[in-house]
Structure formats: C-alpha cells, structure tokens
Amino acid sequence: MAKKNVIETKEVTVYLNGKLVGKHADGEEFVKNMLAKRRAGEINHEINLEFHRKVHEVYVNTDSGRSRRPVIVVENGKSRFTNEVKEKLKANELEWADLVRTGVVEYLDPGEEDTLSYVAMTEKDITPEHTHLEIDNAGILSAVTSQLPLQEYNSSPRITMACSMTKQAIGIYAANYNMRFDTRAYVMYYPQMPLVYTRHQRTLHADRRLRGANLVVAIASYRGFNMEDGVVISKAAVDRGVLRAVALRTYETEERRYPGGQRDKFEIPAPTVNGYREEAAYKYLDEDGLIVPGVAVKGREVLVGKTSPPRFLEEVSAFGIAEEKKRESSITLKSEEEGVVDSVMLTQSPSGNKLVKVRIREIKKPENGDKVASRHGQKGVIGLLVPQENMPFTESGITPDLIINAHAIPSRMTVGHMLEMVGGKAACLTGERMDGTAFEPNKEEDIKETLKNHGFQSTGHEVLYDGVTGRRIEAEIFTGVIYYQKLNHLVSNKLHARSRGPVQLLTHQPTEGRVREGGLRFGEMERDCLIGYGASMLLKERLMDESDRTVELVCQECGSVAYHDFMKNKNVCPVCDSVNFAEIEMSYAFKLLLEEIKALGVFPRLISSDKTEY
C-alpha cells in the first residue's frame, strides 16, 4: 500500500459484489483495515478487494466463480513465510489451512491482483513496494501443463501439442478400473513412473495414475520406416509388454416394461421368435440368456439373449386370445470388435428393471499404425516392428526400444525432448529420478557429468552397430531414455475397408462411416480429377454402377417414370394409358430428383432416343 495516493479526496464509494452499499471517508484506510482483518482471520479469507483509485471506488467481492490463486504475503519488504514457519511445516506442526488462517498465504482474485498487489517472483526480488511473493515460478502453469518436464526448453506450439496429447495417453485412469463398468476404457499393463518427473506430478497424484513407459530411444533412420514421423519399435520390447494395454468395453441392456403389462425377457430365444438367428448364434449363452465370462467373442455375436413383445398389438386370433409373437432383440458385439467376456453383472436399473452389463476385454499390443508420443509434442506412428536381432545395438548389447527420425527435431526445436533423453539416461545410471519441473535451474551440466562418470559420452552419443549387417554405423547416434505415451488412437479401432455393403434407404447410395460398414466417399474433387483426365467410363462406374444405379421404366408417350404391375403383369404409366415403355438406366438420386421436381408442381418428362451402346 506504499503506492502514491493519486486522489484528492480520500472518500470512496464501496460496492459489495457489484452493488453500492455506501461510502467510506478514507479509501486507503478502509482497504488497509480490511486486509489486516482478513489476514488476522477476523473476516473470511475468501473476501477479496478491488481498489480503483482513479474513480474512488472500492469493490468488495465475496461471490462465487472468481478464480483465485495463492501467494505468500509480504509486509514491509519481508516475506511472512519465515524460516520459523518453514521449520514448523517440516515438523508437520502446521498445514496449509494454518498458513491461510494466519495470513502467511492468501488467495488473490483477478481484481485484487490488478489493483492491490505487486508480486515478487523470488524472495531476492522483494523490495519495500512488493506486497506478495510467488510461491513457485511454475505457478503460472495449469494442471496439465505442469506435468510436462523440461518444457522451458521447448517451443510453445509443441508444448500446446504435448498438453493435448498427454490427455489422450493410455494409462491407469482409475485405481478401481476393475470394479467399474465404463462404456469404453483403456488400461495399460505395467505403466512406469517417468524417470524425469515434475514436482507437480506428486501434488496432483499423477505419479499414481501413470500413462507410459521409459523407452530406450535412438535418434536415427531405420531403412526408411521411420520417415515423416514414423517410429520403429523393437519387437522384443513389445513382446515384453511395453506399452501394452487392454481395451474394456461395456454393453448393457435392460428388461424394459411396456404399457399393457408386457416386458422384455432375458432368455435364449425360442426358434419361433420373430427374427430368430440360428441356433449357433446362442451357443455361448447360459440358461438365463447371459453370456459366460471367459468366452472369446467376435463381432456381431450375441452377448445377451433377449426377447421383446411385438411392436404393434396383434389382432385377436380366431381363438379369441391375442397370440403372443415375440420379437428378437438380443445385444450383440459391435461389428469390427472382438475380445473376451471379462465380467457379467446382473443388477437393477433405477426404474427397478433387471439390468445386465457385460464387459468385454481385448488386449491391444502396440502394432503398426498405433500412435505414440513423448511429453514434448513429439508424436509418431509406429511404422515397423523390428525383431531385436535386427535392431542396432551398442557395444554392451543394448538395443533401443524405439527409433525416431532425426528430421523430427531441428524444425520443431523440442530441446526438452533431447534433454529428457540424456536426463533419463543419467537417471538410469544413478538410480535417481531427475527433477524436470519447469523453470528450475539448468541441469545440463550435472547430466553431462553423470554420464561421463559412468563411462558414457557426455553428449549422449553412442556408437551403434547395425543389427542386420553387424557393421558399425558410421555416425554416432544420440541415444537416451525417455518417457513415451501410447495415445488412444489405435489403428485397430480405425481400420476400415469395404467392397460391397449396406446402402441408404432414401438414396440407395452406400452408407457412410465405419460403424455402418460404409464406403469411402468419391467426392467432388475426386470427380473433377476424373473429368479432367477424361476417364468418363471410370467416372460412370464410380458414380453409377458402384453406387445407386437403377433401371426404371419410362413411358414413351408422356415421359414419366412408370412401373410394372405384377398383379396384372403389365407395365403401367401413372399418367397416361400408354403401352410403350423403355427401360432406362439412371442414378437413383436422379429418380429422387424427379420426384422432388414433381413435388414442386413441375412435371419433368424424360425424352429418350435410341439405345446407344458404349
């Protein structure tokens, strides 16, 4: 509060949560007293002030929704976080709440931060004008960002990418995952603690929810299989279980009640049921209609046998009783998925119905096309699994688990990645994890020293031998240990192809998307390319023959689309009494367009000429 007073009158208007409550004769005095009371614990610590000196206004804010952050209080150029407090904290005599209560630490909201505070970054920076001291330099970082090690060495776009990718990493997302029935979840086998950590990870308990593995990584080229952000991974490492995960998926269904006292039933459907599959489809089901845990299932196989009452009430039969014709409504595994029935749970839904949850588990080994990333925005796709004997090796026989390409480094300026590699290497040698918290003093020299003392090159380079030829690789290769994450973009969930398959009801064109077993769109620009090339037959094949080709009867008299009446076994024109028809090949979309034009009140006529052979 040592700042110069710029108001002539000392009187201020006081607002409480934005509402005018009164005036005070001396603004500086008022603010000073309020702050003192807060720090003494006389008023609630959640109260923040805002002092706009130029307009003589003091805002008192107590409402919810302000984002507040803790800082150490500084008074008369001295930090309230004294050695005495420090010792007591260490001896566990004090805890955080005590610090807040006694006014050692207080929370600032944006308003108070703007108008009433001057925060020093370190204790050394404190001058008499300072009002607060930053607890930690890395306090500016968010929960996610603070988990990235050595980030002050990286370029900002890569940090942004690293942040969004750590959120996609597969790990152990919850300690009770085995008791949960999440619709979709991945759990990693034996995730490791990162060798280079940040202090925040412990604060956030992120070291108990791990999501990756420390891999021996070499920066080199491997026969072109790791170009353009591909990575080459050692088959041996995969076989030992590195980055291995299990995918869990829960299917659930309920015995629903319908108006009229009818209800669904879990059972093996009787052959008389409408939509009955074949007997083999129900072979895994127990008598209660539920599948047995431990059974390996494939796409579209029945997990829970279920029958439902008919959709529409049927007419009373000759015997006077409504005959009950049930409908098949079993739950099946999604197409393109497979796995083992992990567990089956039978319980009750909130509305009191029988509820079944079936959890399917499938092991997802790292495979070609899976995405991995370090914590520096260095993402890559596995391009090749190489048997250990073909991987390059060092003199002592170490082979890298992963080989990334050298082109991934210079333009992206992820120096943190390089540092983590050598840092991890040093940590392996000393057996001590390295602190990689942001804005900590430079550790590069220490790392170099450690590597040197253990007989490695301080640069992190190593002489490697080609696993295939056995020859020494001419260049020395930068090798280290770095934490890699497996991201939940797995090829096995994306791989899709189709030759023939379902079509849409309205347009008769192929469906779209993997779940609907759809086709890959031959779009407008692709079409333009074929036109430009003059490949008109291919174009017709793509857009007609392999899409929505139909043959329609066209009345030769009036030009409207006609139909064949199977009852009378003759062709009929809906408009005139013509007997002259032609079979015309057209796209169904065009036929649809004709209908729509008719709906506009316009009568389109198709005038056909002689048949042309192509």
- Which listed range, 19-27, 50-58, 79-87, 527-535, lies at the site for other proteins (CB under 8 A)? 527-535
Size of the site for other proteins (CB under 8 A): 30
- Applying CB under 8 A, among 312, 319, 566, 614 the residue interacting with other proteins is 614
The catalytic residue among 357, 407, 448, 508 is 357
354 versus 540: smaller Cβ distance to other proteins: 540
Residues 205-224 interacting with other proteins (rule: CB under 8 A): none
Distance in Å, CB of 539 to other proteins, minimum: 6
Distance in Å, CB of 585 to other proteins, minimum: 7
Distance in Å, CB of 472 to other proteins, minimum: 45
Measure Cα distances from 163 to 148, 181, 245, 436 in Å.
Answer: 8, 28, 21, 16
* By CB under 8 A, residue 560 contacts other proteins: no
- Tell whether the torsion through CA atoms of 89, 92, 94 and 99 is positive or negative: positive
- Applying CB under 8 A, among 507, 516, 540, 556 the residue interacting with other proteins is 540
* By CB under 8 A, residue 608 contacts other proteins: no
Token pair listed for 535: 């490949």
- Applying CB under 8 A, among 532, 566, 567, 568 the residue interacting with other proteins is 532
Distance in Å, CB of 578 to other proteins, minimum: 20
Instruction: Say how many C-beta atoms besides its own lie within 10 A of residue 418's C-beta.
Output: 18
Q: How far apart are CA 152 and CA 438, in angstroms?
A: 6
- Applying CB under 8 A, among 236, 473, 491, 539 the residue interacting with other proteins is 539
* Strand-strand pairing, 379-386 and 371-374: antiparallel
Measure Cα distances from 119 to 3, 124, 302, 468, 477 in Å.
Answer: 14, 12, 64, 60, 46
Q: How far apart are CA 234 and CA 255, in angstroms?
A: 49
Q: Are the beta carbons of 476 and 462 closer than 8 angstroms?
A: yes
- Applying CB under 8 A, among 144, 331, 428, 544 the residue interacting with other proteins is 544
Helix (H) or strand (E) holding 113: helix 110-116
489 as an active site residue: the answer is yes
* By CB under 8 A, residue 527 contacts other proteins: yes
With CA atoms as reference, report the closest residue to 484 among 583, 402, 405: 402
Distance in Å, CB of 602 to other proteins, minimum: 4
378 versus 587: smaller Cβ distance to other proteins: 587
269 versus 559: smaller Cβ distance to other proteins: 559
Alpha-carbon 4 to chain mean position: 52
Distance in Å, CB of 608 to other proteins, minimum: 11
Token pair listed for 101: 């209560």
Q: What is the spatial order of strands in the sheet that 184-188 belongs to?
A: 184-188, 245-254, 354-364, 339-348, 296-297
Distance in Å, CB of 2 to other proteins, minimum: 44
Residues 574-603 interacting with other proteins (rule: CB under 8 A): 585-587, 589-590, 593, 597, 600, 602-603
Q: How far apart are CA 449 and CA 472, in angstroms?
A: 27
Spatial neighbors of 211 by CB under 8 A, at least 6 apart, are 166, 169, 170, 171, 172, 188, 191, 485
- Applying CB under 8 A, among 96, 439, 533, 563 the residue interacting with other proteins is 533
The catalytic residue among 37, 45, 489, 540 is 489
CA angle in degrees (0–180, nearest 5) for 517-519-522: 165
Distance in Å, CB of 545 to other proteins, minimum: 9
52 as an active site residue: the answer is no
193 versus 544: smaller Cβ distance to other proteins: 544
State the binding string over 487-526 for other proteins (x if CB under 8 A, else -).
Answer: ----------------------------------------
175 versus 607: smaller Cβ distance to other proteins: 607
Distance in Å, CB of 159 to other proteins, minimum: 24
Q: How far apart are CA 278 and CA 283, in angstroms?
A: 10
442 versus 608: smaller Cβ distance to other proteins: 608
> Which residues on adjacent β-strands are paired with residue 214?
483
Distance in Å, CB of 610 to other proteins, minimum: 8
204 versus 606: smaller Cβ distance to other proteins: 606
- Which listed range, 12-20, 281-289, 359-367, 533-541, lies at the site for other proteins (CB under 8 A)? 533-541
Cβ-in-10-Å burial (0-12, 13-18, 19+) of 88 comes to middle
527 versus 564: smaller Cβ distance to other proteins: 527
- Applying CB under 8 A, among 174, 537, 576, 579 the residue interacting with other proteins is 537
577 versus 610: smaller Cβ distance to other proteins: 610
* Neighbouring C-alpha atoms within 13 Å toward the C-beta of 7: 16
Measure Cα distances from 340 to 279, 292, 361 in Å.
Answer: 21, 10, 5
- Applying CB under 8 A, among 42, 123, 528, 565 the residue interacting with other proteins is 528
Backbone angles phi, psi at 373, to 5 degrees: -155, 150
Measure Cα distances from 536 to 521, 525, 533 in Å.
Answer: 18, 15, 8
Q: How far apart are CA 243 and CA 227, in angstroms?
A: 21
457 versus 509: smaller Cβ distance to other proteins: 509
Which residues are the active-site residues?
357, 489
Which chain residues interact with other proteins by CB under 8 A?
A: 527-529, 531-537, 539-540, 543-544, 548-549, 585-587, 589-590, 593, 597, 600, 602-603, 607, 612-614
